[in-house]
Amino acid sequence: MTRIRTDLSDCIGRTPLIHLREASRLTGCRILAKAEFLNPGGSIKDRTALGLILDAEKQGRLRPGTCIIEGTAGNTGIGLTLVGNSRGYRSLIYMPATQSRPKIDALRQAGAQVVLVPAVPYRDPGHYAHAARAKAEAMNAEQPGSAWFADQFDNIANSQWHEQTTGPEIWADTEGRIDGFVCAAGTGGTLAGVGRALKALNPAIRIGLADPAGSALAAWVHTGELQARGDSISEGIGSSRITANFQRAPVDMAWTIEDTESIPWIHRLLRDEGYGVGGSSGVNIAAAVAMATAMGPGHTIVTMLADPASRYPAKLFNPVFLRDRGLPVPVWLEQVEG
């Protein structure tokens, strides 16, 4: 019998777990990925948005007439706006001006008010998260209860929702036959929530961090020091600080992934298997291969395909941009250019 979804919230999650053929063949492991780009807003951040909103409603912090305010690289803002639309809220989103145009356009098309701010380090008071918080505080000072700052980085309702939903989905889909889970961290909500859920079911499961170059999180796992080296074209992942959500992550292993490792996986996955995914997914696949190599053949590793390729055409599928960054351009993409 077909199950009729009652609203947008009921369409979020329960995404397919898919077998990554090439990564599995290369390593002799079974490498699987949750197809989070199939959520209605196009990313895993739909889950985060729903969890944050449900928690805020439960606490009475979000009610009719309240404006949702968040600082985001884009995907969480899209999720908050769409879920908010379905529940009668309007959204005000602060984001760095450097983020991809498709994400900015998607937010505006969904009806969010978008404020673009300079891309500055978190320590700068002009950082997008601080700007969003300050706006919410100013609105609430003028009219109490008029704004809710979602605070995806330090609101642990984020990781708690993944612990309640995403982790158990992975366990059920693999029938408990899983040896490792690895993914990147922006807020740390997915890594912490899924990691905690899986560890509770089987403490032997290894939890790994996939960290893009330019982020300090892998160094922190290895040395206890926040040290960053290099940079990456990936958006929405990596950090120079330990968030309240990331603090909850039971990380056993960590890898720093260069763009030269991750970008080819994005192109291979699209060309050879038909899945079009964004930059963070390439980081995740490269780290899943590293985890599988470290653990040896015969293991099952799960990761995330976080969002779609369509949000990054100017970077991931632009031969001129890739060459300027010293990144490999696949032959078929050169042919598209010609």
Active-site residue list:
45
| Cα separations in angstroms, 247 against 55, 195, 320 | 20, 12, 39
Q: Are 32 and 174 in contact (CB under 8 A)?
A: yes
Chain centroid to CA 295: 25
d(CA 285, CA 292): 10
With tokens 């908050």, the residue in question is 80
Could you give the CA distance from residue 49 to residue 57 in angstroms, rounded to a whole number?
12
Instruction: For residues 41 and 83, give the distance between their C-alpha atoms in angstroms, rounded to a whole number.
Output: 9
Cα-based angle 151, 152, 153 (whole degrees, multiple of 5)? 95
Dist. CA 336–CA 330, nearest whole Å:
10
Q: How far apart are the first and last CA of the chain?
A: 49
Say if strands 113-117 and 147-149 run parallel, antiparallel, or are unpaired: unpaired
237 sits in the region (left: phi over 0; alpha: psi -120 to 50; else beta) called: beta
Q: Which two tokens stand for residue 302?
A: 């799960």
User: Which token pair is 92?
Assistant: 């005000």
- Contact between residue 42 and residue 308 where contact means Cβ atoms under 8 Å apart: yes
Give the burial class of 331: count Cβ atoms within 10 A of its Cβ; 0-12 exposed, 13-18 middle, 19 or more buried.
exposed
Amino acid at 9: S
31, 60 contact by CB (below 8 A): no
The position carrying tokens 């509770």 is 200
